[in-house]
């Protein structure tokens, strides 16, 4: 019996998250389908994210330093809208972003 596996094209970027809401990953257009998102906080600061809304410190999904989170269909945390982040330390902090479409 043959098994069909969908092909996923991965894009790797990074987001420099500041003291105000920062777009980490743009919303998808109507013709695209996001299948996977991986966010890896490689900074020394906590980053809070929101999907489809401006990020607010202390709200949404919290990513601690060194932590990676995966967003995918079926896990209850997946959405094609923009992903925004914010952090409360000085300067900007880097989050690695991998998107699969």
Look up residue 77 and give its DSSP letter.
-
Q: b/e per residue, 25-44, with b = 16+ CB within 10 A?
A: beeeeeeeebbebbbbbebe
Q: Does any domain span residue 54?
A: yes
Q: What is the pLDDT of residues 29-46, one digit of tens each?
A: 665 778 889 999 999 999
| CB proximity list for 93: less than 8 A, separation 6 or greater | 16, 17, 18, 41, 43, 44, 45, 47, 87
Nearest to 68 by CA among 37, 24, 89: 37
Q: Does any domain span residue 43?
A: yes
Number of domains in the chain: 1
Whole-prediction pTM: 0.85
pLDDT value, residue 79: 77
Q: Does any domain span residue 1?
A: no
The tokens describing 52, both together, are 């489809």
Residue 42's CATH number: 2.60.120.770
Q: Does any domain span residue 84?
A: yes
Q: What is the pLDDT of residues 50-90, one digit of tens each?
A: 999 999 999 999 999 999 999 877 665 567 889 999 999 99
pLDDT value, residue 49: 96
Q: Does any domain span residue 2?
A: no
Q: Does any domain span residue 4?
A: no
């Amino acid at each position: 019996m043959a098994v069909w596996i969908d092909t996923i094209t991965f894009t790797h970027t990074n987001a420099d998250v500041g003291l105000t809401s920062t777009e980490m990953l743009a919303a998808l257009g109507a013709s695209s389908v996001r299948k996977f998102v991986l966010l890896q906080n490689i900074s020394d600061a906590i980053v809070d994210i929101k999907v489809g809304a401006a990020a607010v410190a202390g709200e949404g999904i919290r990513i601690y330093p060194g932590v990676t989170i995966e967003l995918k269909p079926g896990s209850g945390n997946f959405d094609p809208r923009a992903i925004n982040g914010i952090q409360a330390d000085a300067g900007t902090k880097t989050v690695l972003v991998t998107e699969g479409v």
